[in-house]
Amino acid sequence: MVIEEHATEWLPAYALNILTEEETSKVAEHLASCPACREELRLYQATADEIPLAVKQIAPPPALKGQIMDKIHSRQMKNADSIQPTFWQRLEAILRVRAPALGLALIVLLALGNVLLWRQLNLSKNLAVTPMRVIALANTTDSPQAAGTLIMDQRGEYGTLVVDNLATLDPGKQYQVWLKRDGERVSGGVFSVNSEGYASMEILAPMPLIQYDSVGITIEPAGGSPGPTGAKVLGGDIPH
């Protein structure tokens, strides 16, 4: 095998990773000093990456998903036994499991930033060094009784939304969270409330929450919409 000016002839097979060891090392050596072949290889690798999409689709056995999730769950349980829960895991667990009143009481505590009391409650050793950002959301004429709070970590990266007194919607509808930045909105997730109008959920966003200008909640078809279409029920600015 001799590579003269370029390794063009060998690149398709190199991208498929089917060359012999000797061939592979010669091509790799050439690539190290040839930007043109590196670019050519990138295009072949992108092509090779697409090949699986063309293969005949075969449905896996229905039980397979359950087996995978059981395996994941048991690993999760093992980890939980050996690792102390993080602050956020504790907070989420409390907000999800306890009654709404307790959840709201905790939020009030957070809002007050009463670090000492939190210490007494022994909910987190970390809180003293990581106080959270708490943003109260304003209700609208479509939901005059609704209350909502967004709780973010200190860096504004992650956040949990807690709402109360929102109307229980028809089965075909859900609430959807929107994050707005430079006039563009992305979905932060959908949720439904319980019979008391209460829900809590982790906000899902491609970027840290602090990078968005505002948050809003609208009523959308179940599963959510690509963009807001229904009445806004809660909203607020995210201070930077």
Partner 1 sequence: MDYSHVNDETLLQLIARSQENALSELYDRYGRLVYSVAMNSLADAERAEEITQDVFVRVWEKAETYRVEQGRVATWLTSITRNRCIDILRHSRARHENLLISWEEAENLDPPSPQNVEWEVDLAQSQRQVRWAVSQLPEEQKQALGLAFFQGLSHPEIAQTLGEPLGTVKTRIRLGMQKLRQLIQAEPQK
In angstroms, what is the minimal distance from the CB of 62 to partner 1? 11
In angstroms, what is the minimal distance from the CB of 11 to partner 1? 8
Looking at 9-17, 107-115, 138-146, 148-156, which segment touches partner 1 (CB under 8 A)? 9-17
Interface with partner 1 (CB under 8 A), residue from 3, 13, 115, 210: 13
Query: Is residue 50 part of the contact set for partner 1 (CB under 8 A)?
Result: yes
Residues 51, 126: Cα–Cα separation, whole Å: 48
Interface with partner 1 (CB under 8 A), residue from 32, 33, 35, 58: 58
Residues 194, 175: Cα–Cα separation, whole Å: 12
In 3D, which of 101, 94, 108, 88 has the Cα closest to residue 152? 88
| 162 half-sphere exposure, CB direction, 13 A CA radius | 25
Q: Tell me which H or E stretch contains 232.
A: strand 232-237
Looking at 100-108, 117-125, 128-136, 203-211, which segment touches partner 1 (CB under 8 A)? 203-211
In angstroms, what is the minimal distance from the CB of 145 to partner 1? 25
Helix (H, G, I), strand (E, B) or coil at 129: coil
Helix (H, G, I), strand (E, B) or coil at 204: coil
Q: Which residues contact 24 (CB under 8 A, 6 or more apart)?
A: 14, 17
In angstroms, what is the minimal distance from the CB of 70 to partner 1? 10
Interface with partner 1 (CB under 8 A), residue from 33, 57, 82, 141: 57
In 3D, which of 236, 237, 217 has the Cα closest to residue 228? 217
Looking at 26-34, 39-47, 137-145, 160-168, which segment touches partner 1 (CB under 8 A)? 39-47
Residues 116, 110: Cα–Cα separation, whole Å: 11
Q: Which residues bind partner 1 (CB under 8 A)?
A: 9, 12-13, 15-20, 43-44, 46-61, 64-65, 67-69, 71-73, 75-76, 79, 174, 187, 189-191, 201-202, 204-206, 223-224, 226
